[in-house]
Structure 1
Amino acid sequence: MFAKWGSIAYRRRWVVLIATVLLAVVGGVWGIGVFDKLSQGGYEAPSSEAARADKVAEEAFGRQNGDVIVIYRGDFANPVELKKVVDHVSGFPKDDVLKAVGPVPSDDKQQALVAITLSSGDSNEQIKQFQDIQPQLKIDGFTEQVGGLVPTQKAINDMSQEDLTRAEMFSLPLVLLLLVIIFGGLVAASLPVVVGGLAIMGALGVLHAVAIFTEVNSFAVNVASLLGLGMAIDYGLFMVGRFREEIARGRTVEQAVGRTVASAGRTVVFSATLLVIALAGLLLFPHGFLKSLAYGGVASVAIAALVSVTLLPALLGVLGHRVDKLAMPWRKKEPSERGWRKLSGKVMKRPVLIAVPIVGVLLALGSPFLGVQFGQVTEKVLPEGNAVRVATENINQNFSALSNTGFKIVVKGGDEAAVQAYLGKVKDVPGVGEVQPTGSGNGVTAASAGLDGDALSEESKQALKDVRAIAPPNGAEVLVGGNTATVSDSLDAIADGLPLMVTLLVGATLILMFLAFGSVVLPIKAVLMSALSLSATFGVLVWIFQDGHGADWLGVTPGPLESGIVVLMAAIVFGLSTDYEVFLLSRMVEARGQGATTEEAVTTGLAKTGRVITSAALLLIVVTGAFAFSQVAMMRFVGVGMILALALDATVVRMLLVPAVMKLLGNAAWWSPGPLKKIQERLALHDEPVDDLDDFDDEVRRPVPVG
């Protein structure tokens, strides 16, 4: 199938080239409109108790949220000063502002808080309304601080777009420079970058289409850009490298294109499928945020692979031998494989001495993850000193009763005496502070309960469990919401979906790798290698971002990890680990099918892919590493995490641990039960064999079965 497609891509190269570029560019131009449709919502589980509490309260009393919080500084012990603020607040435009509560003076009368509820409930429209009223928040003679949910969302959105532009401006030139060094020529180096640019354009078009029908969080664009560019460069590197290898062996251009698609193209599609499945696992969770990341990730990876096996073969067919034009002085016809063969020999000579310490170190690196704590996106993702973050922290410190950090209790039904008795029991719960009614009517009573500690502390989480355990008044339904409840319910929803996601990732990897390679041992080994890489990465991230080691140097505030970002990282790191494993194993299996022993297959696989995998990882580190300097802590977490994962996986795991384990497994690595082997032979995801023995060591001459 892949060889046939390679032949078609060559013969119809101009048609394929023009059609692919046209579709990607049109999609990209139209996709620019997605930036006006992005939101900052979706972090909560929509069917949770906390979400239902908000919905019942809104249906009974209308929207009560203080979307924008303004703190004015002045002498509010003076009634005249206070009246100035009252008069100004009453003049806010009714089209944008549903209501404004306040001013509420602080205890020292030096500050006063105004809580503004915007008229729209849509996050995109709220940001526009906030921009409309922002100039009117100023009052002559007072200084103001502006915080709250909507200003925080706008600040994150603005910084995310700035970070994305900055990351692309930094990474693209550096990636091109590295590709020139790796390929030794400007023409060959430019091809993966072209694929990456078109992949991003196509992904933006897909996200715009999705945003018409459902909410798309702004981080979906960051993920789409990061993975679209990164994976396109990886796939392009693999494809162009194989094409040049075939040309160097004397193939015609048509033969080289066909063989490249049949071998490297097949591997790219297979690897991308595994990564797409990993990212699609995010759709198993109810959170709109995670679904948005799945849309961006799946679209970018799928399009990167699609462009790599359509546009790239067509381009290679057009260029032919000119792919090596504008070569650099250091360009060699064929890069030396001697170093990789030597490394493989040394590793397999002492496999136990290599494998045991590496496994021990990776497990030690992963140990901090045992103490992980999860939180949610707050103002702390913004840089220290950011005006919105400073304002929100001021609100939490000096206006705790109005900061929305406590419990929101909604009682539906029940007589007044029973409801008051229930609220009295809530007040007696350890960790709960003052309980104040906030509304009553339409058969619903709402109250706020303050907390003695931080909203996300263990004390507050236990208080939530205790409050929810109190029997509701007869005939009444009680719903408990608020920050603590939202985070706890969100974590419960993720915990419920995680086993399904793990089953999907592991199951898909085992099945697809078995069908591709014909062994039941290799897929199991791949999953274990990916799990080791994943645990080590998360352990270091917890040590930095939660425990605070080096946090000052990175400019982040230590605290609980945002659960959605952790799940995203798990999907990406697992997918990338499997990606590099497939690149490596594909050449090992290819060699094995041509008669190589296990040691010969491992040596050939490492020699053929070692340079490609390390180069791909280096380039992806540059692309994703740019986000390590993001202004938003969540994207900085992703950037640092990707650097750690790639550095560990592409060097220590793939180049050292995998060859050592393969040596220890010996011929057992290729084993498959007879009945399964027959199924694999009927359904195998293989193409025409690469039948030239000169691809491998001279002594490899005898054909043996892969299984």
Structure 2
Amino acid sequence: MTNLLAHLGALVIRRTRLVLLLSVAVLLGAAVLGAGAFGKLQANNAFEDPAADSTTAQHLLDQHFDGADTVVLLVHARSGTVDGPDIRAVGDAAAHRLSHTPGVSDVVSYWAGHDPALRSTDGRYALVVGTERSTDAVGAKALAALASTNDAATVTVGGDAEVNHDITEQVGKSLLVAEAIAVPIILVLLVIAFGSLVAALLPLAIGAIAIAGTFAELSLLGSVTPVAVYAINLTTALGLSLAIDYALLMVSRYREELSGGADPERAVIRAVTTAGRTIVFSGITVAAALAVLLIFPLYFLRSFAYAGIGVVLISVGAALVTLPALLVALGPRVNAGRLPWARRRMPATAAPFWGRVADLAMRRPALTALPVVILLLFVAAPVLHVSFGTPNDRVLRPDTSSRSVGDVLRADFKADLADGVDVVTDRPLPGSAIQPYAARLSALPGVARVQTSVGVYAGGLRVSSAADPRLASESGQQRLEVIPSVDPRSGAAQQLVRELRSGPGPQGAAIHVGGQTAQLIDSKHAIGSRIPLAALLIVLTTFVVLFLFTGSVLQPLRSLLLNLLTLSSTGGLLVSIFQDGHLSGLLDFTPLPLDTSMLMLLFCIAFGLSMDYEVIVLSRIKELHDQGLDNRTAVVEGLTRSGRIVTTAAALVAVSFLTFGTSTVSFLQLFGIGAGVAVLIDATLVRAVLVPACQRLLGRAAWYAPPVLRRLHDRLGVVGDLADDPSPEGDSAPALSKIG
């Protein structure tokens, strides 16, 4: 690999102008193609397992019953109750607007039949409810037109349709706010980190190519398979993060070679062969971590795999080809626009502070590592009582339309119609066939009542003979609405769904169970059942990549254990904050069970970035170790030379993620704070303290491999041979220093 990268560097030098022209052409072409991605990416059903029972139920409801997603209009009487004639006029007008909204059907109103379930216990609220197909969502403008207010009453829009709209809208606004905060801070930090204005622009060039190229990839994929619109956010955040990492590595090594007396062209070749190798292995490890998301059936997670793999590979390509060409074109002018305190000769990356920390950890491994491990385990402890959920209206702020409706439904109505459990038969049945079945379901614990096409049941008895014809399809399929008396996210509600699924259907017919609670169970199963495979794949790929990189079987194991410690402490912190509610007042969110999909995404990204920093640090340590330095000196000097890169990159990445904490959507806050904290923990406590302490405890065994694996590594892995760096003219130059 070393010689291959050296030849690549020489080729870039010989064809600098062509490389830069092609890079500009690729950037412009990708930008044009990528602009179409925004119209192809989706948000509906992103968190559903296509093979789940709840998804089958949803398809049956879309096919035979005009959908199951609700549009809820909450009518609030400003004075008195909703039974007055002026409030009735408001309610009738709201029902008329809803029934004439394209995509909405089966509209029911409290004033049409005075169903007590549609009236709040105190009489101040009443409901108008319609349904929509999951594949035919009502537009934002149509939903907004349903709201109204006058002196008598206000009409507020809620239900599944408005929740989906509000979440999508608030996520978009939150990301704009986060970027408005993060970008200026990152730009300032880039100038400080690189010490010059010109060098600070290089990561932006790499990031632009990576982001535009990934948008183009998503545009193509969006034409043939569902891709979640949320993947755009990962593309921008990860693209900029990796561009910063790789530019710091390449530019720092380039400057280091210049300061050592190399001419610009030779400095570029050396930077490509050394920093470039680190970039290649970093890219492989990050891409492998994100590729694991492909095994999950939720296209929300698969979309992040598409975006993540694309942005990593394009970032690596741009860092190995475009960035060296820019360095060749700039030459010593890469240091132009130096800051006042950086006008002295600029070496590469030496950071004596991190060397001193590493030296202390090497001299007193137990004394330095044990407190850090205890601290991280203490922070991780709340993971033991973690609970999981899926997004609903409570991820939004209370003043959001759909959230305000949801709060009223939970507080003032005996049962929340919007959170009902749908039971659908797989074949046509007469109404008489479902009567005993509905009576049995209504007697189950946690059931308030069961609504059917032949009446309403509660407590095992038929309490109303009022038929609801919309619950029987034209082809004869039957739909039963099981209205729970418990919180739909609670363990009791989940047990209710399990009982519904395990029990026999009416007259031997198979039944499918849908609704929010059923989707939660299915989502947890879709992710949880594949976590062992995901963990196995991550362990295997990490072991193989790090073994090929280091030639050691203990370095991959050490890395995996430390990454597990980072992820556990991050998970514990998230449970403490977002589930238990600490800092909920400061961050203004409602404590909820953690979103399973977002948590899985967070851990994969955090693991990938952690491996990125692992490779950066190990690369320098191994290089020095292969040059003949003893273990302690190699570690201390390696941290001295790489510590500044890792901590600077982590600080810049953390800024981009932590600004998500300003979001008005709690699962976005969870993701941003979790990713930012994980990066900071890994780059400081783990890389600076635990890595050198572990290296000291392992001693010479840190680089151990059985003879058979050692021979395999000598054939396939990265070996510390002498690299013949090709000159720009294509001839072999004298061998340079040994490369690890």
Partner of 1:698: none
Kindly provide the amino acid, as one letter, of the partner of residue 23 in structure 2.
T
The alignment status of 1:240 with 2:251, answered yes or no, reads: yes
Partner of 2:109: 103
Q: 2:66, 2:105 within 8 Å by CA — same for their partners in 1?
A: no
Give the one of 131, 135, 139 matched to 2:145: 135
**Over the residues paired in the alignment, what is the CA RMSD in angstroms?**
2.4
Report the CA distance between 1:597 and its aligned residue: 1.2
Kindly provide the amino acid, as one letter, of the partner of residue 141 in structure 2.
Q
Partner of 2:422: 408
1:399-478 equivalences in 2 (<5 Å): 399=413, 401=415, 403-413=417-427, 416-437=431-452, 439-441=471-473, 442-478=475-511
1:310-325 equivalences in 2 (<5 Å): 310-325=321-336
Change in Cα spacing, 1:101 to 1:636, as seen in structure 2 (3 Å) is same
User: How many aligned positions are there?
Assistant: 691
Partner of 1:564: 597
Give the one of 62, 72, 75 matched to 2:75: 72
The alignment status of 1:278 with 2:289, answered yes or no, reads: yes
Secondary structure of 2:223 counterpart? helix
Change in Cα spacing, 1:38 to 1:16, as seen in structure 2 (3 Å) is same
The alignment status of 1:144 with 2:144, answered yes or no, reads: no
Partner of 2:189: 178
Give the one of 384, 388, 391 matched to 2:398: 384
Report the CA distance between 1:690 and its aligned residue: 6.1
**CA distance, structure 1, for counterparts of residue 241 and residue 355 of structure 2:** 28
- Describe the superposition over 1:567-588 as per-residue Cα deviations: whole angstroms up to 9, x where unpaired: 0011011111111111001111
TM-score (norm 2): 0.88
- Describe the superposition over 1:500-553 as per-residue Cα deviations: whole angstroms up to 9, x where unpaired: 111111110000111111111111111111111110111111111001111211
**CA distance, structure 1, for counterparts of residue 202 and residue 371 of structure 2:** 40
Q: 1:156, 1:382 within 8 Å by CA — same for their partners in 2?
A: yes
Kindly provide the amino acid, as one letter, of the partner of residue 48 in structure 2.
E
- Describe the superposition over 1:664-683 as per-residue Cα deviations: whole angstroms up to 9, x where unpaired: 10110111111111111111
Q: 2:268, 2:328 within 8 Å by CA — same for their partners in 1?
A: yes
Partner of 2:237: 226
What runs of 5+ residues in structure 2 fail to find an aligned partner? 111-117, 454-470, 726-736
The alignment status of 1:535 with 2:568, answered yes or no, reads: yes
Change in Cα spacing, 1:417 to 1:388, as seen in structure 2 (3 Å) is closer
The alignment status of 1:58 with 2:58, answered yes or no, reads: no
Partner of 1:481: 514
Report the CA distance between 1:634 and its aligned residue: 1.5
Secondary structure of 1:39 counterpart? coil
Partner of 2:385: 371
Change in Cα spacing, 1:608 to 1:101, as seen in structure 2 (3 Å) is same
Partner of 2:462: none
**CA distance, structure 2, for counterparts of residue 649 and residue 130 of structure 1:** 42
Counting aligned pairs with the same residue, the percent is 35
Partner of 2:51: 47
Change in Cα spacing, 1:407 to 1:519, as seen in structure 2 (3 Å) is same
The alignment status of 1:609 with 2:642, answered yes or no, reads: yes
**CA distance, structure 1, for counterparts of residue 312 and residue 515 of structure 2:** 37
Partner of 1:697: none
Partner of 1:515: 548
- Describe the superposition over 1:400-420 as per-residue Cα deviations: whole angstroms up to 9, x where unpaired: 656331321112346655532
1:489-504 equivalences in 2 (<5 Å): 489-504=522-537
Partner of 2:376: 362
Q: 1:86, 1:102 within 8 Å by CA — same for their partners in 2?
A: no
**CA distance, structure 2, for counterparts of residue 406 and residue 550 of structure 1:** 32
Q: Which moved more, 1:29-38 or 1:420-429?
A: 29-38
**CA distance, structure 2, for counterparts of residue 167 and residue 73 of structure 1:** 35
Report the CA distance between 1:102 and its aligned residue: 2.8
Partner of 1:199: 210
Report the CA distance between 1:564 and its aligned residue: 0.2
Q: Which moved more, 1:580-589 or 1:146-155?
A: 146-155
Q: 1:176, 1:193 within 8 Å by CA — same for their partners in 2?
A: no
The alignment status of 1:633 with 2:666, answered yes or no, reads: yes
Report the CA distance between 1:452 and its aligned residue: 2.1
Q: 1:28, 1:203 within 8 Å by CA — same for their partners in 2?
A: no
Partner of 1:622: 655
Secondary structure of 2:129 counterpart? strand
Kindly provide the amino acid, as one letter, of the partner of residue 212 in structure 2.
M
Secondary structure of 1:101 counterpart? strand
**CA distance, structure 2, for counterparts of residue 524 and residue 69 of structure 1:** 53
Report the CA distance between 1:94 and its aligned residue: 5.6
**CA distance, structure 2, for counterparts of residue 91 and residue 367 of structure 1:** 52
Report the CA distance between 1:348 and its aligned residue: 0.9
TM-score (norm 1): 0.92
Change in Cα spacing, 1:653 to 1:88, as seen in structure 2 (3 Å) is closer
**CA distance, structure 2, for counterparts of residue 598 and residue 464 of structure 1:** 58
**CA distance, structure 1, for counterparts of residue 333 and residue 90 of structure 2:** 75
Q: 1:90, 1:100 within 8 Å by CA — same for their partners in 2?
A: no
Report the CA distance between 1:83 and its aligned residue: 5.0
Partner of 1:351: 365
Report the CA distance between 1:208 and its aligned residue: 2.0
Report the CA distance between 1:116 and its aligned residue: 3.5
Secondary structure of 2:478 counterpart? strand
**CA distance, structure 2, for counterparts of residue 678 and residue 328 of structure 1:** 49
Report the CA distance between 1:57 and its aligned residue: 3.0
What runs of 5+ residues in structure 1 fail to find an aligned partner? 693-702
Report the CA distance between 1:95 and its aligned residue: 7.5
Q: 1:203, 1:300 within 8 Å by CA — same for their partners in 2?
A: yes
Q: 1:262, 1:688 within 8 Å by CA — same for their partners in 2?
A: no
Q: 1:412, 1:443 within 8 Å by CA — same for their partners in 2?
A: no
Q: 2:626, 2:720 within 8 Å by CA — same for their partners in 1?
A: no
Q: 2:235, 2:308 within 8 Å by CA — same for their partners in 1?
A: yes
Secondary structure of 2:479 counterpart? strand
**CA distance, structure 2, for counterparts of residue 604 and residue 305 of structure 1:** 26
